[in-house]
Amino acid sequence: MGETHYARRRRLAALVADRGAAALLVTRLVNVRYLTGLDSSRAALLVPADGPAVLATDGRYAGMAAQVCPELPVVVDRQVAEALVTRAAEDGHGRVGFEAHDLTVEHHTALLDVDLPDGAAAELVPLGRLVEQLRMVKDEEEIGLLREACAVTDRAFEAVLPEIRAGVTERAVAIALERAMVDHGAEGPAFESIIASGPNGAVPHHHPGGRELQRGDLVTLDFGALYGGYHADMTRTVAIGEPAAWQRDLYDLVHRAQAAALAAALPGADTKDVDAAARDVIAEAGHGEAFTHGLGHGVGLEIHEAPLMGYDKTGKLMDRVPITAEPGVYLTGRGGVRIEDTLVVRTGGPELLTTTTKDLLVL
């Protein structure tokens, strides 16, 4: 993907130039990975508005950097950001942008105190989330990795379905799902799996524990596979034994709300309007206060990334932006329903990457 990473750096360089800076110091590790391919615990990247980028990492990753991104000059130093500030000053990049959302105040102060060579200077200025802006729209290689992450997620769910039954604990189901994802090709789980049974289903981010699944429960399973660095995210709610009428009604409501959101998820749509498409369906049924979170979020190298989908969020969807659509209704003391898919916004309508049935499964 060397050409792909080079093209990403060139697009970033153009944004840096538009902001009136000579270079950008990239310190968020996930952003360094996006721009270089290097996945490490210590690295930074200097991207000039004009000229080649420079990577800094420590001795543990020098060999890996030479293999992954041989086209980049590499500065080997444990103080990666400080080394690149020095390099920027030496190269005459007077106005250097930085990622203010990543640097701590302490680290920023340390960068200001870097001992520069005589006559060299570097002014540090915040430039906003430029790399995250680029990362929002995926190329087809990225979408392919997301598609496979979602396929692994689908396969793992199908494999574990026979184990979701009365008498099994939430934690046992979570372990089985995470094992199945690895068995089917995942690097690991994309996040800590949520298994919420019975009344625990009213807690959107319930941590799976020792409660045993019981007949009459609705069980919410929120999980995803990590593949090639990319994160899948899917939620399905199943019934243990024949569901009560109120449980079917609640499930059908959430299903209709998600369908409304999917129909609205088109290029050019305001994110808050896509959220409203689902939220209005739930509110009209009298459960508006029980939908307690935003509709969804972007996915990619991180499980939660731009854009955020909520009634109080701003922004527009674009072609090739992967998002989740996950409306839910949560009734304290009774349980809840959430249905979630990972999808890619496309001009002709969304491409669903998670394809497991959304019919209510009765186990």
Does the pLDDT at position 120 exceed 80? no
Task: Give buried/exposed letters for 90-114 (b at 16+ CB in 10 A, else e).
Answer: ebebebbbbbeebbeeeebeebeeb
How do residues 285-310 score in pLDDT, each as one tens digit? 999 999 999 999 999 999 999 999 99
CA distance linking residue 45 with residue 345, whole number of Å: 30
pLDDT for 64 equals 96
pLDDT > 90: percent of the chain:
95
CA distance linking residue 185 with residue 199, whole number of Å: 33
- The H-or-E segment that residue 11 falls in is helix 2-18
pLDDT for 1 equals 64
Q: What is the mean pLDDT of the chain?
A: 96
Q: Determine if residue 271 is left, alpha or beta; phi over 0 gives left, psi from -120 to 50 gives alpha, anything else beta.
A: alpha
> Do 328 and 291 form a contact (C-beta atoms < 8 A)?
yes
User: For the chain, what is the domain count?
Assistant: 2
Amino acid of residue 263? A
**Domain end point (choices 102, 119, 135):** 135
Q: How crowded is the C-beta side of 146, counted as CA atoms within 13 Å?
A: 28
Domain co-membership, 302 together with 318: yes
Domain co-membership, 214 together with 321: yes
CA distance linking residue 61 with residue 76, whole number of Å: 9
CA distance linking residue 360 with residue 239, whole number of Å: 7
Q: Which residue has the tokens 């372990």?
A: 175
Domain co-membership, 272 together with 181: yes
Domain co-membership, 127 together with 149: no
Domain co-membership, 148 together with 123: no
Domain co-membership, 170 together with 284: yes
DSSP-derived letter for residue 163 is G
- Domain holding 310, by residue range, is 137-362
Domain co-membership, 50 together with 88: yes
How do residues 220-242 score in pLDDT, each as one tens digit? 999 999 999 999 999 999 999 99
How do residues 318-329 score in pLDDT, each as one tens digit? 999 999 999 999
pLDDT for 271 equals 97
Q: Say how far residue 267 (Cα) sits from the centre of its chain.
A: 19
Does the pLDDT at position 47 exceed 70? yes
Domain co-membership, 76 together with 217: no
> Do 58 and 77 form a contact (C-beta atoms < 8 A)?
yes
> Do 248 and 332 form a contact (C-beta atoms < 8 A)?
no
Does the pLDDT at position 45 exceed 70? yes
Domain co-membership, 145 together with 88: no
> Do 21 and 125 form a contact (C-beta atoms < 8 A)?
yes
pLDDT > 70: percent of the chain:
100
